[in-house]
Structure 1
């Protein structure tokens, strides 16, 4: 699952992003409404967490534009506006749920899970590259039919590589997405996790899928020898 957080409060956005990462869920953050809308319109996100009071464009107009264009990505409105008319307006505008700040992350995560099990948008997503298979809903990874015992961070890292299979992903981009950190101050965190991931994904198998592109980053692909 890839989630877009549209939230102008930096601390709140960081809190949500960190909580999601602990469950192995990837997320991007947009700090103003216009950026949030443009990102959401790409259609690459599986879920949207949306504030109402945003710079440049408010949450009401974002959800209105998405639904007008028939983009049915699930949306949770997360806002300080707790009056009943605001709640009603949110639900009537096409959002899937409405939460009021302050909030507990455990409740937000539970609501994401509940919404993600509903209807056609909740179909199980399985990604495959060669004999590697990722069941995103079940959080299960296998290679050649053998289950890989991955930590949440390793699963998130592998998911990012598989989603962009064949594409060289820069080191900085990986660290930003998985750890939400400055790569310069955490130079070895990616190397450590990548070694551990390769030990599980590649070392037991003859064909290697994770490749280093020296000076740039990593790519996951099946290469013809």
Structure 2
């Protein structure tokens, strides 16, 4: 796979460069958001490993820019502050996975392989489901042509479901990606699903008992 490592710490870049090249990957590195943009402008990548804290900006902001430009390459965010708020911000920006610092290189390699197998996510800009219309770029939701306010976490969950094109997403994966694996988030997920159905319509989200949820797409 072709990988781009974006991190301003030379030790981290060198460690990941040696480790990932040792697995047979083609690896490019960048120390700043600006360098990352230059790399991506000249060559396509299969996975981007992106540090949140960069000297010339936020990795979350860079991820958001890439998604707005139509880049669908999977992004793994590296963060020293793996708070729920930061994870939600990253998901809203279009990130696919998170890994907190310090991390085990073996886990990073496994997450990179998993993202590479998944491939570019299909991120629909507009989805219709019954009376509901979801515009993910504008963050605008409507029901029967009337705007409906959604929270950041509701958008994160809906975008995750929409990216799977109607397939069921397991509760475990939702809890990991939307709540950061919080142990007590199961009840919060059920509340969030109920709230989305109340706002957008009962038939917008389907439940597979004991497994997870799917977005019903027209």
TM-score, with structure 2 as normaliser: 0.53
Distance across 2 between alignment mates of 1:27 and 1:118: 19
- Could you tell me how far apart the structure 1 residues matched to 2:75 and 2:120 are? 15
Instruction: Give distance in 1, aligned partners of 2:43 and 2:58.
Output: 19
Structure 1: 5+ residue runs without aligned partners?
Answer: 122-225
Gaps of 5+ in 2: 122-218
Contact 1:32 1:55 in 2 (8 A): yes
1:101, distance to aligned residue in structure 2 (A): 0.4
Equivalent in the alignment of 1:103: 103
Contact 1:80–1:102 (8 Å) recurs in 2: yes
State how 1:110-189 maps to structure 2 within 5 Å: 110-118=110-118
Matches within 5 A, 1:1-225: 1-118=1-118
Question: Are the aligned partners of 1:45 and 1:73 in contact in 2 as well (CA < 8 Å)?
Answer: yes
Distance in 2 (CA, whole Å) between partners of 1:16 and 1:57 is: 21
CA shift in 2, pair 1:30/1:119, >3 Å:
closer
Question: CA separation in 2, counterparts of 1:120 and 1:15?
Answer: 26
Greater gyration radius: 1
Question: Partners of 1:33 and 1:88 in 2: how far apart?
Answer: 21
Runs of 4+ in 1 over 6 A off after TM superposition: none
Aligned length: 122
Change (3 A) 1:27 1:49: same
1:175-201 Cα deviation digits (max 9, x unpaired): xxxxxxxxxxxxxxxxxxxxxxxxxxx
CA contact (8 A) 1:48 1:73 kept: yes
Separation in 1, partners of 2:42, 2:71? 10
**Per-residue Cα deviation, 1:87-133 (whole angstroms, up to 9, x for no partner):** 11112211110110000111111111112222566xxxxxxxxxxxx
- What CA distance in whole angstroms lies between the structure 1 residues aligned with 2:109 and 2:20? 8
Scaled by the length of structure 1, the TM-score of the pair is 0.51
